[in-house]
Structure 1
Amino acid sequence: MIFILVYCTAGISGGHINPAVTFGLFLARKVSLIRALMYMVAQSLGAICGCGLVKAFQKTYYNNYGGGANEVADGFNNGTALGVEIIGTFVLVYTVFAATDPKRNARDSHVPVLAPLPIGFAVFMVHLATIPITGTGINPARSFGAAVIYNKDKAWDDQWIFWVGPFIGAAIAAFYHQYILRAAAIKALGSFRSNA
């Protein structure tokens, strides 16, 4: 589903459906502050509406599964959950950077068309690893929307984890891609040119 959503919205908003991705792109100076804030508000409102529709059309399943609200699973502590959210979001946001890198597009002209595919796979793989621990946040808007509509039990207890973790993971991915990988690539290119 992420593949489809990113593919369909890429031409409109760049495929931003996650505040953590938007935050990472903002830190990399690919999105302005105003646009990033507006995207995050729209993403959160969209998540609230989406969860409301699920509740309206599938109330039995919705109630049986706690409204899809994220929470730290029994047997895990908040530190582990925070770490899982940081790592999971890093994988996602780094994949977004790698799949949409304009330097790569020059070499691989088919990449822009296929960029949503690795992003969707990254989300799938992160879900496989983190669902048993946190229910897989990695998207603060989705976690927030589920908590707003469900609004009971433990829906709000650990909400901070599903904002702080993804934003830290996104910041690390942006820093890694922009200042470590890009700097190494520029340095390698410079040494290649000086030898020629």
Structure 2
Amino acid sequence: MRGHINPAVTFGLFVGRKVSLIRAFLYIVAQSAGAICGAGLAKGFQRSYFERYGGGANFVQPGYNKGTALGAEIIGTFVLVYTVFSATDPKRNARDSHVPVLAPLPIGFAVFMVHLATIPVTGTGINPARSFGSAVIYNKDKIWDDHWIFWVGPFIGAFVAAVYHQYILRAAAIKALGSFRSNN
């Protein structure tokens, strides 16, 4: 059972040929709709906190520029998506890992580490749906000005992570294995 709640991860899985284009598109639409509903519920249940904290919407924090924010989102999402690929790789053998069946543990740790690094820069997007849902429901104070960063950055980071894992690391491992087998 998979939990698809992040369009960047879904896009990375599409690039890695683990999800079809139609399924990826439908997941992203559902993820975005779910994020809007979730932000609406948060506003409905905790209006004063929602307003006080800007609806949880992401923006480039004072003292940082758009390039730094974009870079933070790219790198943060790369770390997340690469960790998802590594932790859920079906070719990974149980004996190759100290934690063979607990994929959520390294993924959660990666999310935690990315948050520590990027909260001061962007409030940590790395999930375009969550950023979108908060922006739609909050919808004030120029929240849309730099919103593109929270889609473009995660999609670039996911693309690079998927290509790196699927087509560079895996290809090198397959080539090395073939070389090893031919020598025996």
User: What TM-score, normalized to structure 2?
Assistant: 0.96
Provide the residue aligned with 2:36 in structure 1: 48
Deviation at 1:144, TM superposition (A): 0.2
Give 2:127's match in structure 1, choosing from 129, 134, 139.
139
Provide the residue aligned with 2:180 in structure 1: 192
Following the alignment from structure 2 to structure 1, what is the Cα–Cα distance between the partners of residues 164 and 80?
A: 13
RMSD between aligned alpha carbons? 1.3
Provide the residue aligned with 2:148 in structure 1: 160
1:63 maps to 2:51? yes
Provide the residue aligned with 1:7 in structure 2: none
Which one-letter code corresponds to 2:120 in the other structure? Answer: P
Deviation at 1:100, TM superposition (A): 0.5
Provide the residue aligned with 2:110 in structure 1: 122
Following the alignment from structure 1 to structure 2, what is the Cα–Cα distance between the partners of residues 18 and 47?
A: 10
Question: What percentage of residue pairs aligned between the two structures are identical?
Answer: 82
Larger helix share, 1 or 2? 1
For residues 40-80 of structure 1, the C-alpha deviation after alignment (integer angstroms, 9 at most, x for no partner) is: 01100110011011111111111110000000001110000
Following the alignment from structure 1 to structure 2, what is the Cα–Cα distance between the partners of residues 28 and 15?
A: 17
Query: What's the secondary structure of 1:114's corresponding residue?
Result: coil
1:20 maps to 2:11? no
Query: What's the secondary structure of 2:3's corresponding residue?
Result: coil
1:33 maps to 2:21? yes
Following the alignment from structure 1 to structure 2, what is the Cα–Cα distance between the partners of residues 96 and 82?
A: 21
Taking a change above 3 Å as real, the CA distance of residues 26 and 67 of structure 1, as seen in their structure-2 partners, is same
Q: Which runs of 5+ in 2 are unaligned?
A: none
Query: What's the secondary structure of 2:61's corresponding residue?
Result: coil
Q: How many residues align?
A: 183
User: What TM-score, normalized to structure 1?
Assistant: 0.90
Q: Which runs of 5+ in 1 are unaligned?
A: 1-10
Provide the residue aligned with 1:76 in structure 2: 64
